[in-house]
Chain A
Amino acid sequence: MNCEVAHERIVTGAYGELPDEQTHELERHIAGCPDCHREREELLALKVLANAHPVMEPTANLVARSRLRLEEALDALPPKRWHERLGQRMMNNFASLQAAPVAACLLLVAGAGAGSLGGYEIAQNRAAHTAAALSATPQTQTGQPQAGPAEIANISSIVRQPNSEMVEVRYNQVVPQRMEGSLDDPAIRQLLMLASEDSASAGVRDDSVGLLAAECRAGHGCQGAGIRDALMVALRYDKNEGVREKALQGLEPYVAQDVRVRDAVLEALMNDGDPRIRTAAINILEPVEADTSVRQVLHTVANSDQNPQIRTVSRQVLSRVPEIQ
């Protein structure tokens, strides 16, 4: 220990703030250092001298005067308004929460858990009610499915019974559901249209588009725009060429009478990446009255299609122009 450190510890020790082990070390240093010994003596003398300016107890008069003055000042303060009291109480409660972070976290976790459990129970009850209602009425001629498309997570499988119009559709809501019905059933059709947009499973899309297209080719109630729209979407956007081919086949009966269908087929002829589909699109074009768009597309395809066979077929069709009015 050097004298500089010793001088500091002398002050700390004189006021009882030095740890025992440092006190012992200091004593040993002072015993061998006259300067530090003198330093301690002077500090102790200072302490005695400082006591010549003693702390006086306040007189009773001073206490009474001070107290009276304070009471007058407190009485003169305006009472806290209700919103100030409320705000203070809320701050105190918040501070209590701040002082108990674990309790606050537990409270949040419990609240979130209770909310999730309640939501799950409600959804499950609703799904059970829906399944009960649907199973009680397997064939419905009118109306929408009990479960709207927004409430169905996805379609898991579509199975048509052999030699039958009956189809079983398995789909998922909160829990897996099952529905069985005829292809004419609007509820089944709605599920099939939903399945045609299922991005997860090409197989499900293929099954649903195939069934819908078959219904349309058979003339079974495809007059409604919903099914044709579903097939046109599949033709334009499905990534699977098999699904697009089936959609094209399903739209064939409507190329002549529905301009929207014709346009979708012409788009497929211009843009589809699969030459089989472009070829099929040419083949299903029927003569239409004064439709110049068909001739224009055929001209374009005849000149610019990458596939030589398609160019040839297009020229052949154009050569039969009098047949396409």
Chain B
Amino acid sequence: MNGTDRDGGSRGQDRAQARAPEMELIREAQGGSRAAFDALVRQYEHQVLRLALHLTGSEHDAEDIYQEAFLKAYRYIGNFRFECSFYTWIYRIVTNLCLDRLRRRKTRREDRAVIVDRSGDEIDLLASVSDDRSFSNPAKELDRKLLGEKIQAALDKLTPRERMVFELKHYQGLRLRTIGEMLNTTEETAKNTLFRATKKLRTQLAGLR
């Protein structure tokens, strides 16, 4: 038996135990402890950067979102009432900042149906991609990069909210209920938004199958 297998009850207990020191950190941070707040930042900074980086595609933008999110958290940590997890609370701040960023930004990438590779040949991105690509093949690496850009372009065509829900569900693996909490909406609304997002993406990426 896998030593890491556990039933739901003991997992819940572990979660509760893990939260206990976090609650102490939060209370100390609320009391003005900078060290406690720094410890909280270290717990969540990777997740925040990962989300911001994938959403914006820019390290500079991700850094800005990181800065704004944690400054806001520092300013308003006194208002945290333990009604949800600190993780949800922080993510709520980050997702709102990301949504603002997505709404403000103009399309930065051009939609390219056909691009030119290093040898000068045109590549039709709408052509199907072979399954037997090798990562060690530079040409195939380029194909992957271009494919990624195509997908990014399709994602950019979603509304900010659809983009956020798809990001949190598909890429971050969060539950729809948690996504609803973070976006201050219901699980049902989050589910409908996900449905719309996948439908649009399938339309955009139909030729890439």
The answer to whether A17 touches B49, judged by C-beta atoms less than 8 angstroms apart, is no
Q: Of B32, B37, B54, which is within 8 A of A85 by CB?
A: B32
The answer to whether A80 touches B32, judged by C-beta atoms less than 8 angstroms apart, is yes
Question: Which residues in chain A, 48-93, are within 8 Å of chain B measured between CB atoms?
Answer: 49-50, 52-59, 62-63, 65-67, 69-71, 73-74, 77, 80, 85, 88-89, 91-92
With a cutoff of 8 Å between Cβ atoms, the chain A residues found around residue B170 in the complex are 15, 47, 50
Q: Which among A38-46, A106-114, A173-181, A313-321 touches the partner chain?
A: A38-46
- Confirm or deny: B191 has a beta carbon within 8 angstroms of a beta carbon on chain A: yes
The answer to whether A57 touches B171, judged by C-beta atoms less than 8 angstroms apart, is no
CB nearest neighbor in B for A15: B169
Docked complex Cα distance between A26 and B195 (Å): 16
A56 to chain B: closest CB distance in Å? 6
Q: Of B63, B79, B169, B205, which is within 8 A of A46 by CB?
A: B205
CB nearest neighbor in B for A57: B50
- Confirm or deny: A225 has a beta carbon within 8 angstroms of a beta carbon on chain B: no
The answer to whether A88 touches B71, judged by C-beta atoms less than 8 angstroms apart, is no
The answer to whether B205 touches A49, judged by C-beta atoms less than 8 angstroms apart, is yes
The answer to whether A70 touches B53, judged by C-beta atoms less than 8 angstroms apart, is no
B25 to chain A: closest CB distance in Å? 15
Docked complex Cα distance between A91 and B171 (Å): 38
Question: Which residues in chain B, 71-130, are within 8 Å of chain A measured between CB atoms?
Answer: 71, 74, 78-79, 81-82
B27 to chain A: closest CB distance in Å? 9
Q: Chain A at the B interface: mostly helix, strand, loop or mixed?
A: helix
With a cutoff of 8 Å between Cβ atoms, the chain B residues found around residue A30 in the complex are none
Q: Of B59, B175, B195, which is within 8 A of A11 by CB?
A: B195
With a cutoff of 8 Å between Cβ atoms, the chain A residues found around residue B205 in the complex are 46, 49
Contacts A52-B148, A62-B49 hold; do A8 and B82 have CB atoms under 8 A apart?
A: no
- Of the listed residues A11, A42, A57, A88, the one surrounded by the most CB atoms of chain B closer than 10 A to its CB is A11
Interface string of B181-209 (1 = CB under 8 A from A): 00000000001101100100110010011
CB nearest neighbor in B for A17: B176
With a cutoff of 8 Å between Cβ atoms, the chain B residues found around residue A62 in the complex are 49, 53, 59, 62-63
- Confirm or deny: A99 has a beta carbon within 8 angstroms of a beta carbon on chain B: yes
With a cutoff of 8 Å between Cβ atoms, the chain A residues found around residue B50 in the complex are 55-58
The answer to whether B191 touches A55, judged by C-beta atoms less than 8 angstroms apart, is no
B76 to chain A: closest CB distance in Å? 11
The answer to whether B195 touches A99, judged by C-beta atoms less than 8 angstroms apart, is no
B197 to chain A: closest CB distance in Å? 9
Docked complex Cα distance between A99 and B81 (Å): 8
- Confirm or deny: B147 has a beta carbon within 8 angstroms of a beta carbon on chain A: yes
Question: Which residues in chain A, 269-309, are within 8 Å of chain B measured between CB atoms?
Answer: none
The answer to whether B81 touches A66, judged by C-beta atoms less than 8 angstroms apart, is no
- Confirm or deny: A325 has a beta carbon within 8 angstroms of a beta carbon on chain B: no
With a cutoff of 8 Å between Cβ atoms, the chain B residues found around residue A65 in the complex are 63
The answer to whether A69 touches B63, judged by C-beta atoms less than 8 angstroms apart, is yes
The answer to whether A92 touches B202, judged by C-beta atoms less than 8 angstroms apart, is no
The answer to whether B46 touches A58, judged by C-beta atoms less than 8 angstroms apart, is yes
Give 19 new A-B contacts, CB below 8 A, not counting A15-B170, A17-B176, A88-B30. Answer: A12-B191, A15-B194, A17-B191, A49-B205, A50-B151, A50-B201, A52-B148, A53-B152, A55-B171, A56-B53, A62-B53, A62-B62, A63-B49, A66-B45, A66-B49, A70-B71, A74-B37, A91-B78, A99-B81
Q: What are 27 of the A-B contact pairs (CB < 8 Å)?
A: A8-B195, A12-B195, A43-B198, A49-B151, A52-B147, A53-B147, A55-B50, A55-B54, A56-B53, A59-B59, A62-B59, A62-B62, A63-B46, A66-B45, A66-B62, A66-B63, A66-B67, A67-B41, A67-B45, A70-B41, A70-B67, A73-B67, A73-B71, A74-B71, A92-B30, A99-B81, A99-B82
A residues with a Cβ closer than 8 A to B are 7-8, 11-12, 15, 17, 42-43, 45-47, 49-50, 52-59, 62-63, 65-67, 69-71, 73-74, 77, 80, 85, 88-89, 91-92, 95, 98-99
